[in-house]
Chains A and B, each alone.
Chain A
Amino acid sequence: DIQMTQSPSTLSASVGDRVTITCRASQTLSTWLAWYQQKPGKTPKLLIYDASSLKSGVPLRFSGSGYGTEFTLTISSLQPDDFATYYCQQYNGYSRTFGQGTKVEIK
């Protein structure tokens, strides 16, 4: 099974900061990777798919990059609405695996 490791587990940042979250895969994924945002008590929301494709309606301050085994989610200028937990998910072949999550907290 493909294992996904996110870092950091928790991130403290201020409004306006540039934030980067990393996701590493135990096997190569090409670009079969997605990112999700989840706020407390809410359902997860798809942000990015195929490593770098922004889902329609998602703010342009969110971007994704990477190929193979290392991927990043970047928030160019953190907004109050962005404090949440972020998950990566691989979908190489028929397996699907999530990372353990990165909580973005207010500094």
Chain B
Amino acid sequence: QVQLVESGGDLVRPGGSLRLSCAASGFIFSDSYMSWVRQAPGKGLEWVSSISSGGTIINYADSVKGRFTIARDNSKKSLYLQMNSLRADDTAVYYCVTEGNPPQFYFDNWGQGTLVTVSS
């Protein structure tokens, strides 16, 4: 079955950087659109970024554009999120998620999430 395991969440100071990773298994990763979705404590869901199966089409939410970079390594079945210039409002659980086939960009399978806390 589909497994998505996130790692890399930590406590970081404002202005700092962090790199999240997601290890995928149980499906053909190289055929799948992937995304990061986050959820601040006690708040709703927020889409962060998406990347096409080949890595050529990338999209970001306005709230992270210019600060976050999504990437993937299909040979390692892994998804990444490089987060720079972190702010307090980036504090959230970050989920690695599979999407449907284009143009059906719904979020099908979810990892358990990794917590990022931005605080001094």
Chain A interface (Cβ within 8 Å of chain B)?
Answer: 1, 32, 34, 36, 38, 43-46, 49-50, 55, 87, 89, 91, 93-101
Contact = CB atoms under 8 A, between A and B. Distances in A.
Interface residues of B, number: 21
A87 B45 contact: yes
B112 A43 contact: yes
A44 B110 contact: yes
A36 B111 contact: no
Given A43-B95, A43-B111, A49-B104, A96 B47 contact: yes
A67 B73 CA distance: 37
Contacts of A34: 106-107
Interface of B: 35, 44-47, 50, 57, 59, 62, 95, 100, 103-108, 110-113
A54 B64 CA distance: 32
Contacts of B47: 89, 96-98
Report, nearest first, the 3 A-B pairs whose CB atoms are least far apart: A91-B105, A34-B106, A96-B47
B103 A91 contact: yes
A47 to B, nearest CB: 10
Given A91-B105, A91-B106, A49 B100 contact: yes
A50 B105 CA distance: 10
A96 B50 contact: yes
A44 B95 CA distance: 10
B63 to A, nearest CB: 10
A7 B13 CA distance: 37
A55 B103 CA distance: 17
24 contacts: A1-B62, A32-B103, A32-B105, A34-B107, A36-B107, A38-B45, A43-B95, A43-B110, A46-B106, A50-B104, A50-B106, A89-B47, A89-B107, A91-B103, A91-B105, A94-B50, A94-B57, A96-B50, A98-B45, A98-B46, A98-B47, A100-B44, A101-B44, A101-B45
